[in-house]
Amino acid sequence: MKVPASRYLPSSRPYQGLPEIDYPFHDRDALVTNCGRICIYRKKINISTVLAGQKLGIKEVDDGIWLFMHL
């Protein structure tokens, strides 16, 4: 039985990163900070550190109520 390391081959395609995400029906973009938060009107909202450095599209549906856009 062969171990995974003996079967591994590096990809012939170089990793180019993710394309820029466009949120077509949003009110604004919010950048998730390294600690996993977005800041809207001096309010800090915890999202997740998994999304750190990513832009989220957010839409205000009512006064102070925001929806996060997903694809």
Extents of the domains making up the chain = 21-68
CA 12 to chain centre: 27
Please report, for residues 21, 24, 33, 56, the alpha-carbon distance to residue 46 in angstroms, rounded to integers and kept in the order given: 21, 23, 10, 13
Q: Quick one: pLDDT at residue 50?
A: 92
Which of 20, 22, 21, 25 shows the shortest CA–CA distance to 59?
A: 25
**Residue ranges in the chain whose pLDDT is less than 50:** 71
> What pLDDT shows up at residue 70?
52
- pLDDT score at 71: 45
Separate counts of helices (H) and strands (E) for the chain: 1, 5
What confidence score (pLDDT) does residue 8 get? 92
The closest of 71, 22, 65, 21 to 40, measured between CA atoms, is 65
pLDDT for position 11:
92
pTM of this structure? 0.61
